[in-house]
């Protein structure tokens, strides 16, 4: 719903108000939600609309002509699709990094301790679909470890994986460190060293023919500035130097 509203909300509203439309990877929900409030507080009359979804879906929508000012992807390949289609204004820059962890219900009832444990019989595991950044990262870990995870479902974004673990529909899920931190104790995490084989870089760019290009660049300044680093760091993202 938020994405649809964002895609349709790029025109100036009543009274000369301006709308800045940001398409952002689902894993950025908490940190970009905080930056949305900071940006609006500093820019009177500006309404920031953020559409959160899997990066692959967002890239597809931008390449199909969806009106957006900013695109923040959870990996380089989906940003590259936008660049190759001529839909990025300038060279994207990496603003954050993230890595996978295993999300489990509080208390870790199945006793998951390693990535290999996800392949054990009787452990219901949920992952992201392969075209989604968190799914692509999971496949890299599988390749590096030789462990084949037979997931009970593949979700279209990382928040859906987290939700299934949180609801008890899954015994474990592959999510980002930031997702567990932002869950506020509703799920636990099991870190595993092989996650270092699949660090995700998060690039951001102004979209070509953005309705609000000046505001878009100011939003990027916020993301790369002290406030951006603080909000990203709060939920476990690594930040660009």
Q: Residue 21: CA atoms inside 13 Å, Cβ hemisphere, count?
A: 25
Task: Supply the pLDDT for residue 239.
Answer: 85
The model carries a pTM of: 0.87
List domains and CATH numbers for the chain.
2-97+201-239 (3.40.190.10), 100-198 (3.40.190.10)
Q: Please give the angle made by the CA atoms of 129, 54 and 138, to the nearest 5 degrees.
A: 40
Distance of CA 7 to the CA centre of its chain: 18
Local mean pLDDT, 10-residue blocks, the chain (241 residues): 40 66 96 98 97 96 97 97 98 97 97 97 96 94 95 95 96 96 94 93 98 98 97 92 63
Task: Supply the pLDDT for residue 16.
Answer: 66
CA–CA gap between residue 238 and residue 178 (Å, rounded): 9
Reported residue count of the chain is 241
């Amino acid at each position: 719903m938020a994405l649809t509203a964002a895609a349709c909300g790029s025109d100036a509203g009543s009274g000369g108000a301006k709308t800045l439309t940001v398409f952002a990877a689902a894993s950025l929900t908490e940190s970009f939600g905080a930056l949305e409030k900071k940006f609006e507080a500093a820019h009177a009359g500006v309404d920031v609309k953020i559409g959160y979804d899997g990066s692959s879906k967002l890239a597809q929508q931008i390449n199909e002509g969806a009106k957006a000012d900013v695109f923040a992807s959870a990996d380089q390949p989906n940003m590259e699709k936008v660049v190759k289609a001529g839909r990025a204004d300038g060279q994207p820059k990496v603003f954050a990094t993230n890595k996978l962890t295993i999300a489990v219900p509080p208390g870790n009832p199945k006793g998951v301790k390693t990535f290999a444990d996800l392949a054990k019989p009787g452990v219901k595991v949920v992952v992201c679909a392969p075209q989604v950044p968190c799914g692509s990262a999971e496949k890299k870990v599988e390749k590096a470890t030789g462990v084949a995870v037979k997931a009970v479902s593949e979700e279209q974004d990382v928040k859906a994986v987290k939700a299934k673990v949180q609801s008890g529909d899954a015994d474990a899920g592959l999510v980002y460190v930031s997702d567990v931190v932002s869950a506020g104790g509703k799920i636990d995490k099991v870190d595993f060293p092989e996650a270092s084989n699949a660090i995700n870089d998060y690039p951001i760019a102004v979209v070509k023919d953005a309705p609000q290009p000046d505001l878009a660049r100011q939003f990027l300044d916020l993301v790369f500035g002290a406030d951006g680093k603080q909000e990203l760091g709060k939920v476990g993202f690594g930040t660009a130097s």
